Structure 1
Amino acid sequence: MAQRQRQVAERILQVPAVQSLTTFVGVDGANPTLNSARLQINLKPLDARDDRVQQVISRLQTAVATIPGVALYLQPTQDLTIDTQVSRTQYQFTLQATTLDALSHWVPKLQNALQSLPQLSEVSSDWQDRGLAAWVNVDRDSASRLGISMADVDNALYNAFGQRLISTIYTQANQYRVVLEHNTASTPGLAALETIRLTSRDGGTVPLSAIARIEQRFAPLSINHLDQFPVTTFSFNVPEGYSLGDAVQAILDTEKTLALPADITTQFQGSTLAFQAALGSTVWLIVAAVVAMYIVLGVLYESFIHPITILSTLPTAGVGALLALIIAGSELDIIAIIGIILLIGIVKKNAIMMIDFALAAEREQGMSPRDAIFQACLLRFRPILMTTLAALLGALPLMLSTGVGAELRRPLGIAMVGGLLVSQVLTLFTTPVIYLLFDRLSLYVKSRFPRHKEEV
């Protein structure tokens, strides 16, 4: 494994965009088996290379693809990560079963189904069941005739392969532990088990092969557990042209197609699980914000209708943000949703400035609703334009940024710029129209259902 890792490292260092790398081989917190290795690749600064991270990943995969017996999985390190484990790719999906046999039966089926989905790329799993294991089947009758118990067999195997500590050598500068082990240099493989000697009842020794049958079988290299049940983790990336939402929905549809039994459960992990939770809570968050604004505006203007006029500006901001994201080819991720939530407060003030002036003109100057909202549009146009431009110019650096981590901040700027532009153009026309429509609706309701004053 170390030799193949050196080959991979040499190929990676030949890519011009790579500055340095650090390699890890063997079992540790990230590598559960001996046939796995981990590399941390440091790229040159953005101004010193021409390729983006995803382009560099494609070049690295092409460079290592010709090395036999090696599968390379790459993922960019995010500025903001919520993954609790190191995986081969960016997103994780777990399959959990009550028994190991059920898990080994469904893992290949689900992996083959996921690898055929166009919404997923580089699908892999940590399930490796082709490891070699030696099975010792003891003939208890033969062992009993010789006076050998199962505990004697266990002790003999542990003495040979369990690294039993039998002594400690102390020196003036250090101490050394003496570990007992079987000499496998002369008898490698399964023959080493057959030559293990056991003490019989009469004091003689017999080989293990006299009372046991030794077989070589395939076994998992490692078995991971989640909530005390065996589990395997599928890792995948999302190819260009698809979003994480498309990949999640494709996986859920595949589950329904395979008709997994009741003792098999699946769950997204890491950033994919956070994505699902965010989508489920974001809708309720926006609804709660709109309801809270309606209550506050209703108390402020002592009206049930005018808060709706003010809130009517929010759809234009949302449409503008979504159109900007589509035109820029950006995904509707968590950062973009934060930008849309920010637009709710910024865009709403345009209607507040007009409605507040129009209501004051009606009550204090006796203007008609048409003249009042017309005068409000004329006098409040400059403050509305100035505040919108201030917010717009503040969001432009986020949208046009090209430095390190710009991919994380860019959707926020795109959503804010698109929403502000569209809302600025449309709300100056739609808000007066909606104001007059609701005023006529209010007059119609009052004429249809007049209030009768009681005489005292």
Structure 2
Amino acid sequence: MNLSRIFILRPVATSLFMAAILLAGAVAYRQLPVSALPQVDYPTIQVLTFYPGASPDVMASSVTAPLERQFGQVPGLNQMTSTSSFGSSMITLQFALDLNIDVAEQEVQAAINAASTYLPRDLPNPPIYSKTNPADAPILTLALTSKTLPLSKVLDLAETRLAHKVSQLPGVGLVSISGGQKPAVRIQTNPTALASYGVGLEDLRAAVAQANVNQAKGNFDGARQAYTIGANDQLMSSEDYRPLIIAYRNGAPVRLSDVAAVIDDAENVKQAAWMNTAPAVILNIQRQPGTNIIGVVDRIEKLLPQLKASMPSSVQVSVLTDRTTTIRASVKDVQFELMLT
């Protein structure tokens, strides 16, 4: 039986059939997902541990090594990489693809509990773990820079004016901010003044901690009414700290300003992100699973002029990285091949 004879004898049906195939292909092309990586739930877990003041050698020997020994016994582990830096340790665990990520998460939690006895006793917080997916890498990275405003102010503008608007766009899953410096009050003690008043650093620390608390104050109970004591003892600026009384000597109060210089500063002056040679606040934008990555980036770029207009003129918003550059080139190649065939 000659298959082509059927189509030759029925030219109208053949034309309609070809038109249906062309229409179905056009509809299917519009529904094709566009992404840099396939939508796969990679069983990868990242464990972070912070130990302020510890050198990389101390982090590697006292934190990273005990955790690695316990993680090495977890079944289904394919690869383990670690990085020990000043005050922090990061361990990335990659499991077999056929392993359920929830099961791997439970195994990691059990390994952290087993390693807790070998970790430093003065560790501020236990290790933190989170599920990561290479396919969830940021699709667009924005950088906010300013030559006149401090990074703490730029961070506030990024959180209130930029991140909130971008996260409301369809297809945007997560907007994370890095590189900003949170405001803080820095107390720079004068050892000579402390020695003259007979005040130690521990006495100073205890007095400051005791005067700066935010906890329940209690309440008054009456026969017909009850009153809650609403008082906040938290100190917010350097001006509030300076008159703080830390001790009494010869019946006279010793104030914090007598033994230290109190200034408004950043919480961590060594933490910052950079765009080329300028300090910047970085916005990493991730998409929702299954959404068209090119469509999401196009909506963000369409909103950018409006967001830039709402920012002060001294703040510059720039596109640092765009993952759709290579994806757009791949899509154009596919379109060209489709036209040829």
TM-score band, normalised by the shorter chain?
0.3 to 0.5
Query: Structure 2 length normalisation: TM-score?
Result: 0.44
Answer 1 or 2: which has greater strand percent. 2
Higher relative contact order (CA 8 A, sep 6+): 2
- Of the two, which has the highest radius of gyration? 1
Q: Give the number of the structure whose residues are more often helix, by fraction.
A: 1
